[in-house]
A and B are shown apart, each in its own frame.
Chain A
Amino acid sequence: MAGAPKDEWQERYGSSRQRDVPFATMSGIPLEPVYGPADAEHPGVFPYTRGPYASMYRSKLWTMRMFAGFGTAEDTNERFKEIIRAGGDGLSTAFDMPTLLGLDSDDPMSLGEVGRCGVAIDSLADMRDLFSGIDLGSITTSMTINSPAAPVLAMFVAQAEETGVPRRAIGGTLQNDILKEYQAQKEFVFPPRQSMRLVRDVIAFTAAEMPRWHSVSISGYHIREAGSTAAEELAFTLANGFAYVELARQAGLDVDAFAPRLSFFFNAHIDFFEEIAKYRAARRIWARWMRDRYGAHDERSMQMRFHAQTAGVSLTAQQPEVNIVRTAVEALAAVLGGTQSLHTNSMDEALALPTEKAARIALRTQQVIAHETNVAHVADPFGGSWFMEELTDEMERRAGEIFDAIDAMGGGSMLEGCIKGIEENWFQGRIADSAYELERAFNAGERVVVGANRFLEGNEEGFGDILRITQEQEERQRARLDSVRRDRDDAKVAEARDRLAFEAADPEANLMPALIDASHAYVTLGEMMSTLGGVFGRHTEVPSI
C-alpha cells in the first residue's frame, strides 16, 4: 500500500525526535504513537484532522502558556517570573483596557481602568520593565493586543533591539486579529479597512524581517466567550483567517511566504466531545482551503497550529473551587484535540483577576494532565470513534454553511464578506442571538450549571482572598508616564509623529519602521494611536441588542 496515509505518517514519525519517557500505560502495556488502519487519516498527513505533526506530544508536550497581566509592568514582571518558577514554559501578556484601546494611562478616558484587567503599557520604558530579567530567547511570549497591535509590536521590537536581540531572532506571537474585535471582543479603534491596513503591514513586515514571529493569532476564543455556538466559533474564526490570507495576497505576498506564521486560538469549553470535534474539523478545513482555494504548496501553510484557553464564561462565582474541575475537563478536551499551547483559567476568575495561588493551581492542572494521566502518549485517541468522526463531519458541514453565507455577502471574497458582515452587524447579531438562547436554556433549567441553577448547597460559604488592584497602582503608572514625558527629547518625538502621520496617509507605505523608530524615541502608545487616528478616523458601532 505505497502512498497510504500510514506509510506517509510512518516516514515522518521515524524522522521525529521523541521525549525520553516510557510510552506505556501505568501497568506497562506499550502504546503505539497513533492507532488506526493504514488507509485512515493520520496525524502529520494532509488534511491533518488528527494533528499537524506526525509525532504530536511524543516529541514535545504542548506549551503551558499562562496569560497574565495586571497593575504596572513591574507587577506583571513579578507574576511572569512566578509562572516560570512554577514550571510554565510560555508567557502571554494581558494588557489593560487603556492599552487595548491605545490610550495612555493619563488619558481622561483611562480613569479607573489603569492596570485593572491587565498590565498598563504606555511606552518603551514599560515594555522594558515588563520583560526585565526574562530570557526571551528561551521562553516565547504572546501579546494579546489588536487595535494597537502594530505599535505594541514596534515597542517590543525596540525593546529587543535595545538588549541586542536582532529582529530575525525574536520569537513570539501577536494576536493582531482585528476582525474578531468588531465581531465579538469590541476593543476597536479605527474603522475596519484602516485597521486591516495595519494588519497587512504587520504580516508583510514580519514575513520579511522576523521569520520566528507569528504575525496573527486568529482567535475564536472571544467569539465563543461572547456567546457563539461551537460551529460559529469555528466558522467565524476560519473565515477571518481566510480574510487575512486574501488581504496579504492582495498586498502581493506569496501565500507560502506568510501563511506558515499564522496561528489560531480557540476556546476550550465545557462540552467535551464537541470541543474535540471542533479542533479536528478546524484543522481539516484549514488544510483544504489553503491548498485548494489559496494555492498553498508549503505544507506548513496547511498545518493549523493553535493555542487554547479554557472557557472563562463557564466559571461560576458560586462555589469557585468547583471551577478547578471545569477547567480540568476543558483542558483535557484541548489536549485530546491536539492543541499546541494551553492556558488554564483560575478558579477565582468569575470574581477578579487570579491570585498567585489560584494561577498556580491552574498551571498544576495542566501538569497533572501532562505528566500523570498518560493522555499525551497517543495522538488523537478519539480518531476512528464513530461518534467522534460523525461529530467532526457535522462541525465541518455546519461551518461550511456559514462560509457559504459569508462568501455570498462578499461576492466571492471572504475578506469582503467578513468586512460587510461586520458593517451590517451580521456577526454581532448571530453571536447575541446564540448567547441569549444559551441564557434562556439556563434560566429554563434545560442547561445545568452546578452551583448556579442546581446543587446550590454551599453557595452561602465565603471564598478566600481575591486579588485587589488599587487606585495606587494607577497613580504609580501615571507618575511613571510623567517621568517618561519629562526625560525624552521633544524634538525627536515631534519628528517621529510627523513621519508617522505622513506615512499613514500613503496607503502603500508599511508603517512598522516608522512605529519602531517612534518607539525608540519614547513616543507613547496613546500618541502613536492618536497620530494614526488623525489619518484613519475612528470606528463607532451602531448599538444593537
Chain B
Amino acid sequence: MPTRVLVAKVGLDGHDRGIKIVARTLRDAGMEVIYTGLFQTPDTVASAAIDEDVDVVGLSMLSGAHMTLAPLVVKALRDRGSEIPVVVGGIIPDQDADELRSAGVAAVLGPGATADAVVSTVESVVR
C-alpha cells in the first residue's frame, strides 16, 4: 500500500507554488497525494484527512499564520480521535519550528528543504 498524503493550504495564504511542487514530488516518489485546494480551515482539513484515510497531513504555510493555524489542525485531528501526523512546510523560522513540534507537529520543513528531505521526512513520520 503506497503512503497516502493529504496536502493542504489552511487560512488565507494563496501561495501555491510550493505545495504543488511538494505534491508532485511526493507523487513521483510513489505516494498517493490529495490536494485540498486553497482557503481551508483546520476543521475541513481534519475531516478530509479522516475521510480520505491518509497516513500524513502536510500543511504549506507562507503567510506567517503557522503558529496559530498549525496547532489548530493538530487539535482538530486529535479532537476527532485521529493520530494522523502533521508536517508543516514553508517560511517557518527555526525558533517557531521548535514551538510547533512542542505543539504536536510531527516535523517542520523550512525554506530551502530539498526534494529528498521532503520525501524522507514524510516517510519518517509515517513509520
Instruction: Indicate if the CB atoms of B21 and A436 lie closer than 8 Å.
Output: yes
Instruction: Indicate if the CB atoms of A352 and B12 lie closer than 8 Å.
Output: no
Verify if A380 is at the interface (C-beta below 8 Å from B).
no
Verify if A103 is at the interface (C-beta below 8 Å from B).
yes
Please, how many angstroms separate the alpha-carbon atoms of A226 and B21 in the complex? 11
Known: A350-B91, A352-B91, A543-B35. A439 touches B115 (CB 8 A): yes
Instruction: Indicate if the CB atoms of B112 and A225 lie closer than 8 Å.
Output: no
Known: A351-B91, A352-B93, A439-B21. A112 touches B67 (CB 8 A): yes
Other-chain residue from A185, A188, A431, A466 in contact with B93 (beta carbon distance below 8 A): A466
Please, how many angstroms separate the alpha-carbon atoms of A543 and B39 in the complex? 11
Chain A residues in 8 Å Cβ range of B19 = 545
Please, how many angstroms separate the alpha-carbon atoms of A431 and B15 in the complex? 13
Verify if A260 is at the interface (C-beta below 8 Å from B).
no
* CB under 8 Å from chain A, chain B span 36-86: 36-39, 41, 62-65, 67-69
* CB under 8 Å from chain B, chain A span 517-545: 540-545
* Minimum C-beta distance from B73 to chain A (A): 11
Instruction: Indicate if the CB atoms of B16 and A436 lie closer than 8 Å.
Output: no
Sample of 18 further A-B pairs with CB below 8 A, known A227-B17, A351-B93: A97-B14, A111-B69, A113-B13, A116-B63, A186-B38, A227-B21, A317-B111, A317-B112, A350-B91, A350-B111, A351-B111, A352-B91, A352-B93, A452-B112, A469-B64, A540-B37, A543-B38, A545-B20
Closest to B113 in A: A317
| Centre residue among B13, B14, B68, B110 by max chain A CB count within 10 A | B14
Chain B residues in 8 Å Cβ range of A399 = none
* Minimum C-beta distance from B11 to chain A (A): 6
**Can you give 10 A-B contacts (C-beta < 8 A)?**
A109-B39, A113-B65, A117-B63, A317-B111, A350-B112, A352-B93, A432-B20, A439-B25, A544-B35, A545-B19
Verify if A192 is at the interface (C-beta below 8 Å from B).
no
Chain A residues in 8 Å Cβ range of B39 = 109
Instruction: Indicate if the CB atoms of B37 and A545 lie closer than 8 Å.
Output: no
* Minimum C-beta distance from B120 to chain A (A): 13
Instruction: Indicate if the CB atoms of A186 and B15 lie closer than 8 Å.
Output: yes
* Minimum C-beta distance from B74 to chain A (A): 14
Chain A residues in 8 Å Cβ range of B37 = 540-543
Chain B residues in 8 Å Cβ range of A452 = 112
Chain B residues in 8 Å Cβ range of A111 = 11, 65, 68-69
Is chain A's interface secondary structure helix, strand, loop, or mixed overall?
Answer: loop
* CB under 8 Å from chain B, chain A span 462-507: 466, 469, 471
* Minimum C-beta distance from B43 to chain A (A): 11
Instruction: Indicate if the CB atoms of A117 and B64 lie closer than 8 Å.
Output: yes
Instruction: Indicate if the CB atoms of B36 and A543 lie closer than 8 Å.
Output: yes
Chain B residues in 8 Å Cβ range of A352 = 64, 91, 93
* Minimum C-beta distance from A529 to chain B (A): 13
Which residues does A use to contact B, with CB under 8 Å?
97-98, 100-101, 103, 109-113, 116-117, 181, 185-188, 225-227, 313, 316-318, 350-353, 431-432, 435-436, 439, 443, 452-453, 466, 469, 471, 540-545
Instruction: Indicate if the CB atoms of A317 and B110 lie closer than 8 Å.
Output: yes
Q: Chain B interface residue count: which class? A: 35 or more
Other-chain residue from B13, B33, B63 in contact with A545 (beta carbon distance below 8 A): B33
Chain B residues in 8 Å Cβ range of A316 = 111-112
Is chain B's interface secondary structure helix, strand, loop, or mixed overall?
Answer: loop
Chain B residues in 8 Å Cβ range of A317 = 110-112
Chain A residues in 8 Å Cβ range of B64 = 113, 116-117, 352-353, 469
Instruction: Indicate if the CB atoms of A109 and B114 lie closer than 8 Å.
Output: no
* Minimum C-beta distance from A86 to chain B (A): 24
Chain B residues in 8 Å Cβ range of A431 = 17
Instruction: Indicate if the CB atoms of B12 and A103 lie closer than 8 Å.
Output: yes
Chain A residues in 8 Å Cβ range of B23 = 545
Instruction: Indicate if the CB atoms of A471 and B68 lie closer than 8 Å.
Output: yes
**Which 4 residue pairs of A and B lie closest in terms of their CB atoms, listed nearest first?**
A112-B68, A186-B14, A543-B37, A116-B64
Please, how many angstroms separate the alpha-carbon atoms of A426 and B65 in the complex? 30
Instruction: Indicate if the CB atoms of A186 and B63 lie closer than 8 Å.
Output: no
Please, how many angstroms separate the alpha-carbon atoms of A316 and B91 in the complex? 11
Instruction: Indicate if the CB atoms of A113 and B11 lie closer than 8 Å.
Output: yes
* Minimum C-beta distance from A101 to chain B (A): 5
Instruction: Indicate if the CB atoms of A98 and B115 lie closer than 8 Å.
Output: no
Instruction: Indicate if the CB atoms of B21 and A435 lie closer than 8 Å.
Output: yes
* Minimum C-beta distance from B18 to chain A (A): 9
Chain A residues in 8 Å Cβ range of B11 = 97, 109, 111-113
Verify if B101 is at the interface (C-beta below 8 Å from A).
no
Please, how many angstroms separate the alpha-carbon atoms of A326 and B24 in the complex? 28
Other-chain residue from B13, B17, B111 in contact with A97 (beta carbon distance below 8 A): B13
Chain A residues in 8 Å Cβ range of B27 = 545
Chain A residues in 8 Å Cβ range of B93 = 351-352, 466
Other-chain residue from A116, A436, A540 in contact with B20 (beta carbon distance below 8 A): A436
| Centre residue among B20, B23, B27, B39 by max chain A CB count within 10 A | B20
Instruction: Indicate if the CB atoms of A225 and B65 lie closer than 8 Å.
Output: no
Chain A residues in 8 Å Cβ range of B63 = 97, 113, 116-117
* CB under 8 Å from chain A, chain B span 107-127: 110-112, 114-116
Known: A350-B111, A469-B64, A545-B33. A436 touches B24 (CB 8 A): yes
Instruction: Indicate if the CB atoms of B35 and A453 lie closer than 8 Å.
Output: no
Instruction: Indicate if the CB atoms of A453 and B91 lie closer than 8 Å.
Output: no
* Minimum C-beta distance from A112 to chain B (A): 3
Please, how many angstroms separate the alpha-carbon atoms of A111 and B67 in the complex? 11
